């Protein structure tokens, strides 16, 4: 017999998506900085990426078609 996944199984992928968004933003910051962009400008691009990820994570439960 196979056990049913617990309620924690549904929470982990959402958290992992946000962690991956932060990691992608930081990689973008380092790449832009290495290509010659100013450090602050590259950081602002990273901040926008992270804010968009956080906004999407907050809004997903309120989208039509989501039943929980």
| 33-49 per-position pLDDT tens digit | 899 988 888 888 888 98
| 4-26 per-position pLDDT tens digit | 655 555 554 667 777 888 888 88
User: What residue segments make up the domains of the chain, in order of their start?
Assistant: 19-57
pLDDT at 6: 56
Q: How far apart are CA 25 and CA 10, in angstroms?
A: 24
């Amino acid at each position: 017999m196979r056990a049913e996944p617990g309620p924690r199984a549904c929470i982990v992928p959402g958290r992992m998506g946000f962690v991956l968004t932060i990691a992608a933003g930081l990689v973008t910051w380092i790449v832009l900085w290495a290509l010659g962009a100013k450090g602050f400008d590259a950081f602002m691009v990273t901040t926008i990426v992270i804010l968009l990820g956080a906004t999407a994570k907050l809004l997903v439960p309120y989208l039509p078609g989501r039943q929980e």
